[in-house]
Structure 1
Amino acid sequence: MAIEDILKRLNIFVLEDDPDISKFLNLFLSDYFNKVTVKTDNRFNYSDFENIDIFLLDIEIPFDSGYEVCKRIKTVYPNKPVVFLTAHSQLDDKIKGLELGDDFIPKPFEPLELIARLKNLLKDRYGELVYLDDIIIDKRAHLISDSVTGTRIPLSETENKIFFYLYDNINVSLSREQIINHVWGIERRSSQANSLNVYINSLRNKVDMEGKLIQTIYGYGYKLSNVKE
């Protein structure tokens, strides 16, 4: 999937205290991203960042520093990209920004260059996304999200193992024995025969409410089907 299509499903958080720049970024970035959230100071909750995919931070903001904001973001969400967009252009600032975050863009900036930089970061982080029916599969991180809301679908460790084993063998029928051996091991396969049914039903309730993806091969096992093929 093209990076432009990926951006349309992602959310960006902007921290910029200049009213003209913040207004411009809100309008400009809205053409590329699913949702743009703009704040002008540190009056926000870090717990609200679960559905933010990339951060664009100024360094000088009221009541705080963009550097400190970045540190706190990276503590909670170490894999989410943070980009500094700032008038601080001294070498020391650039080095500090690149050490704490993922990119550093000095002001004044070219809007199209900004988008190109964001695309590069997001392609590296989210380029392994696959859209399958109503879900988004992050192959690299082994995560699944709702394709409409973008919210993560929580799976237990066992559900995750089953789903991604089916996904790694998409459109291939896997026997119950193959799945059980992969998830629980050969030594425990007899004790987990009934458990597989329970976990498959739980997976269907979470990621396949319409029953299109996870197909039962009667008398044999299961198959994850690419419904778009």
Structure 2
Amino acid sequence: MEDTLKKLNIFVLEDDPTISKFLHVFLNDYFNKVIVKTDNRFNYSDFGNIDIFLLDIEIPFDNGYEVCKRIKTIYPEKPVIFLTAHSQIDDKIKGLELGDDFIPKPFEPLELIARLKNLLQARYSNLVYINDLVVNKQAHIILNSETRTEIPLSKTEKKLFFYLYENINIRLSREQIINHMWEGNDQSNQATSLNVYINSLRNKVDIEGKLIQTIYGYGYKLSVPKE
């Protein structure tokens, strides 16, 4: 989870200058990008590349509950943790109903990290980072790692990519791929179709030509360096 955390981005809303500065420095050791705001000068439409939110409830220009509602309206799948000096049961219940977790102030920093990790593990454990891509193994979608936007693939392109993905670093013959892609159909004229779909897939997910390798005279493989 540590390696995955360093590829994720967190948004923090905290108006207390001391706490906000501490969180910015502390969380930078764990996350790829930490964005800290102490006021309402931000746009909800800019949160596409944010993976998790940490919101103070008591903020003078609004309240964390309302900010959470707006976030969840646009990005319902993204987790939110509330920070608050209030620890009454009503506050906790409301925080858990609207968001995903609740931690009272003062908080233990390592407990905060543990809670963030738990939420991220639950939400993003099916994600694999490959070059500039984020591959969701369960949902069978591919995202741009920078913008977190889905890369649109046709049904056939998606089937081809995930067949290559399921056989990472394994040489697959053209016959193997064609049989998988068009099993039960006339495969005599599918060699040209395979070329077309390989080129289309490369244009969408492998512009630099490092991911989908051609094994000349044989077939293709999805090449990912072993860590």
> Are 1:16 and 1:57, in contact at CA under 8 Å, matched by a contact in 2?
yes
State the shift of 1:57 in Å.
Answer: 0.6
Matched-pair contact (CA < 8 Å) for 2:179–2:187: no
Residue 102 of structure 2 corresponds to which residue in structure 1?
104
Map Cα deviations across residues 43-92 of structure 1 (whole Å, 9 max, x no partner). 32111000001000111223322112111211221211110011121111
Stretch of structure 1 that moved more, 167-176 or 62-71: 167-176
Deviation (angstroms), 1:190: 7.4
Query: In structure 2, how many angstroms separate the alpha carbons of the residues matched to 1:150 and 1:8?
Result: 16
Secondary structure of 1:105's counterpart equals strand
For residue 177 of structure 1, what is the aligned residue in structure 2? Answer: 178
State the superposition RMSD in angstroms: 2.7
Deviations 1:113-143 (A, max 9, x none): 1111111111222233333345442323434
Aligned partners of 1:8, 1:151: CA distance in 2, in Å? 15
Counterpart residue identity of residue 41, structure 2: R
Matches within 5 A, 1:47-86: 47-86=45-84
Q: Relative to structure 2, which stretch is displaced further, 165-174 or 111-120?
A: 165-174
> What amino acid sits opposite 1:156 in the alignment?
L
* Deviations 1:83-106, CA, capped at 9 Å, x for gaps: 001112111111111111111001
Question: Counterpart of 2:154 in structure 1: which amino acid?
Answer: E
Q: Which residue of 20, 25, 35 maps to 1:37?
A: 35
User: Cα–Cα, structure 1 residues 106 and 191, in superposed 2: closer, same or farther, change >3 Å?
Assistant: farther
Quick one: which of 210, 215, 223 aligns to 1:225? Answer: 223
SS of 1:38's partner is: strand
Q: Which residues of 2 match residues 132-143 of structure 1 at below 5 A?
A: 132-143=130-141
| Secondary structure at the counterpart of residue 213 of structure 2 | strand
Flag the 1:110–1:35 CA change in 2: closer, same or farther, 3 A.
same
Q: Offset at 1:161?
A: 2.7
Bigger drift between 61-70 and 100-109 goes to 61-70
Alpha-carbon distance in structure 2 between the residues aligned to 1:191 and 1:61: 64
Tell me the amino acid that sits aligned with residue 155 of structure 1: P
- Structure 2 unaligned blocks of 5 or more: none
Does the 8 A contact of 1:180 with 1:189 survive in 2?
no
Matches of 1:134 and 1:59, distance apart in 2: 35
Q: Identity rate of aligned residues, in percent?
A: 72
Counterpart-to-counterpart distance in 1, 2:189 and 2:88 = 64
TM-score (norm 1): 0.83
Shift in Å, 1:178: 2.5
Letter in 1 for 2:153: S
The answer on whether the counterparts of 1:58 and 1:84 sit within 8 Å (CA) in structure 2 is: yes
C-alpha distance in 1, partners of 2:172/2:141? 22
